[in-house]
Structure 1
Amino acid sequence: ILGGFFFFNADNFIPFNASDTSSFNAIAITGTMTLYAFLGLECATIPADNVKDPVKTIPRATLLGTLITTAVYILGTVVVMGLVPLDKLTNSPAPFADAMKVMTGETGSYIVAGGAAIAAFGALNGWILIQSQLARAISHDGLFPRIFKKENSNGVPVWGIVIGSALSSLVMLMNYTEGLVEQFKFIILLSTLCTLVPYLFSAAAYVAISLEGKKSKKPGTGIFILGGLTFLYAMWAIFGAGEEAVFWGFILLLAGTPFYVWLKWKNNLQNR
């Protein structure tokens, strides 16, 4: 990143908004797609049982990791935009490799492309394992079918991995008529939207739970400020997802209603 500033060209940042939409809409959709890169930070709570003093350790690690990641993302993006001209960057399938090519030539671009591929496979592997853990936790709470908490001899919720991976593949096929870039963009926005819904309710729940715990005291304004800002940000990011992602996200959320009713009915029968 530091070496890239020696080849920096500030003219590559003009025009700042190269899209066909207004600056407000462009910033909104950029904010939503940027949030996709930070999804999963809540997964730090999954190994809480195996972490020493998780109440303090996990929040600190999450905040520190988020700050470091943000700094790397911002610096890396600024350097790439400063090295690669806008007309090439718009259609580039590997912008970091193209930026490295400006500094070191073909060899450097191949090395960066190879590293990006390895990182992508590692991230994919992590997400596949995480999705099964989340489904298993929800199943233990009685809000997901029991098949998701079934484990093999090694303690792995294998059915959660299989079903989750199959559903992810199905979602990708929903937009197969579009180009690869548009397809990837659609998946990012849809995934982010589905995550923003619980974020939005979590912000409201934070205020409600905080007020519940302060019945005998006057609630501080910080509770309303933090909860309100989080709620507004989630709403703004949902707006940035766009009409298509919001439409399909709404359909997916409604599709889960029959499963919720069925599970509640089964749980009531078992508790009688």
Structure 2
Amino acid sequence: MTDSGGPGRKLGLAMCVALVMGNMIGSGVFLLPASLAPFGWNAVAGWALTIAGALALAAVLARLTVAFPEAGGPTGFVERAFGRVPSFMIGWAYWISVWTANVTLAVAAVSFLSVFVPELADHMAITTIALIWIVTAINWRGARAAGRFQIVTLAVKLVPLAVVIALIPIAFASSRPVALTPFPAEGLSWTTVSASAIFTLWALLGFESASVAADKVDRPAITIPRATMIGTLATGLLYLIVCSAIILMLPADAVAKSNAPFSLFVERYWSHEPALFVAAFAAVSALGTLNGWTLVQAELPAALARQGLLPAWFARENRHGTPANALILSSAIATVCVLLNASQSTSEMFNAMLVLSTSVTLWLYLACAGAALRLGVATPVAALGLIYAVWTLWGAGLVVSAMSLILMAAGLPLYGWTRMRSAPARRE
């Protein structure tokens, strides 16, 4: 095992912002308007509340990083406030959500690419597994190799978002009228706004990415807070503008039934040919997000191992400073997950990702907000973040919350085994 290296091997501000935004802007945003279309203007309100809540939680993580730079990220904050068992449960469940989401991202990327190479769809499982291991190979070369790849893919994935934003004023300036969805006469519905929040938060998952990879960040106490706030705010505003335009400037029924809402918008306000390229950009978006989360899926169990919550085996690094064992094991589990779910459709796997990733990550956010309150860090903002996390978890439903709790408890036997193995060493 080698040392992680000096600043030359670590992630700077630009790479951290790319990691945060790249992990947030994934394949889901290209399908999200279809899920939000039935909510109409209530979804716009849901976006506003979600962005505010995400910024509050991002600020909490940023302040915790400044206050406890040696903690090593969210699980370290939870351990300081509540102890080792809650820290392990949060970290374990979050790790599960990451590699599960990676499976879906890989499937989505292959699905988008099959528009141009139809043969890929005939061998979905094999192609998906190949993509997972290609991205694993990129991350094997170290955090900076993954960071450079993330910057390139982020630049490409922003193109379709920029196209939609550019088409908005062009559409209103043209002679062809825009059939804007009218504001509901009865006003907004709090229940409906709450129901839309689980979808909007799902699209913003990932603002904690820089904190999770704290050990690979140059000057983390400065870089992580800046990257977290910049990335969260920029992504939230992009989503608010783009998704609101698509669901309000197109017929709700058409958007809800569409497998490619972005393409539908571009075709309606531009032409058919440019709309075809949205699939290519969506594939790059999914690939870039897969790359960023692959970095996280290796760093997270390694951080747990360094805290003594998982066996030290998970933290062993290769000569590039990558937690190689954690990386390979995570991708191997993802491969098994692909094989077990080979018969499912892309939409079914997306639904599974939304339910699992959002619910489990909500517990992480709730725990970090609670940790900040207990440790006396950014108390007013932490209180707002805690209220937002509870509100969104309530909107997700009892079944989802119970599922995430079961996932947390599932890793306790491994935690107990780790503690038993380390007990003799502590007594010596």
TM range (shorter): 0.7 to 0.9
1:51 corresponds in structure 2 to 218
2:409 corresponds in structure 1 to 254
Q: 1:48 to 1:160 in 2, by over 3 A?
A: closer
Distance in 1 of aligned mates of 2:325 and 2:223: 31
Does residue 233 of structure 1 match 2:397?
no
TM-score, length-normalised on structure 2? 0.54
State whether residues 135 and 160 of structure 1, in contact with CA within 8 Å, keep that contact through their aligned partners in structure 2. yes
Distance in 2 of aligned mates of 1:160 and 1:71: 34
2:317 corresponds in structure 1 to 151
1:96 corresponds in structure 2 to 262
Q: 1:23 to 1:144 in 2, by over 3 A?
A: farther
2:331 corresponds in structure 1 to 165
Does residue 124 of structure 1 match 2:124?
no
* Matched residue SS, 2:310: coil
1:187 corresponds in structure 2 to 353
Distance in 2 of aligned mates of 1:16 and 1:2: 30
1:215 corresponds in structure 2 to none
Distance in 2 of aligned mates of 1:125 and 1:197: 24
Q: 1:173 to 1:196 in 2, by over 3 A?
A: farther
Distance in 1 of aligned mates of 2:284 and 2:182: 30
Does residue 28 of structure 1 match 2:194?
yes
1:38: how far off? 2.3
* Matched residue SS, 1:93: coil
Most deviating of 167-176 and 112-121? 167-176
State whether residues 131 and 160 of structure 1, in contact with CA within 8 Å, keep that contact through their aligned partners in structure 2. yes
1:175: how far off? 7.7
Does residue 7 of structure 1 match 2:171?
yes
Partner letter of residue 271 of structure 1? Answer: R
1:136 corresponds in structure 2 to 302
1:44-83 residue pairs with structure 2 within 5 A? Answer: 44-45=210-211, 46-47=213-214, 50-52=217-219, 54-83=220-249
Distance in 2 of aligned mates of 1:112 and 1:16: 35
Q: 1:26 to 1:176 in 2, by over 3 A?
A: farther
Partner letter of residue 253 of structure 1? Answer: M
1:100: how far off? 0.7
Match of 2:400 among 245, 258, 262: 245
Partner letter of residue 405 of structure 2? Answer: F
Q: 1:240 to 1:163 in 2, by over 3 A?
A: farther
* Matched residue SS, 1:65: helix
- Give CA-to-partner distance per residue, 1:189-218, whole Å, 9 cap, x none: 21121111122122121111118xxxxxxx
- Give CA-to-partner distance per residue, 1:150-171, whole Å, 9 cap, x none: 2334332233223323444666
| More contact order relative to length (CA 8 Å, sep ≥ 6) | 2
1:77: how far off? 0.6
State whether residues 298 and 323 of structure 2, in contact with CA within 8 Å, keep that contact through their aligned partners in structure 1. yes
Most deviating of 119-128 and 83-92? 83-92
Most deviating of 121-130 and 183-192? 183-192
Distance in 2 of aligned mates of 1:209 and 1:246: 26
* Aligned residues with identical type, % of pairs: 32
Most deviating of 181-190 and 7-16? 7-16
1:248: how far off? 2.1
Partner letter of residue 218 of structure 2? Answer: V
Distance in 2 of aligned mates of 1:97 and 1:231: 37
1:139: how far off? 0.8
Q: 1:16 to 1:4 in 2, by over 3 A?
A: farther
State whether residues 180 and 249 of structure 2, in contact with CA within 8 Å, keep that contact through their aligned partners in structure 1. no
Q: 1:50 to 1:128 in 2, by over 3 A?
A: closer
Partner letter of residue 113 of structure 1? Answer: A
- Supply the RMSD in Å over aligned alpha carbons: 3.0
State whether residues 13 and 86 of structure 1, in contact with CA within 8 Å, keep that contact through their aligned partners in structure 2. no
Partner letter of residue 262 of structure 1? Answer: W
TM-score, length-normalised on structure 1? 0.81
Distance in 1 of aligned mates of 2:214 and 2:388: 28
Distance in 2 of aligned mates of 1:96 and 1:83: 12
Distance in 1 of aligned mates of 2:185 and 2:196: 13
1:110 corresponds in structure 2 to 276
Q: 1:51 to 1:195 in 2, by over 3 A?
A: same
* Matched residue SS, 1:41: coil
1:96: how far off? 0.8
Most deviating of 181-190 and 106-115? 181-190
Q: 1:262 to 1:48 in 2, by over 3 A?
A: closer
Partner letter of residue 94 of structure 1? Answer: A
Distance in 2 of aligned mates of 1:174 and 1:242: 27
Partner letter of residue 420 of structure 2? Answer: W
Distance in 2 of aligned mates of 1:65 and 1:85: 31
Q: 1:205 to 1:47 in 2, by over 3 A?
A: closer
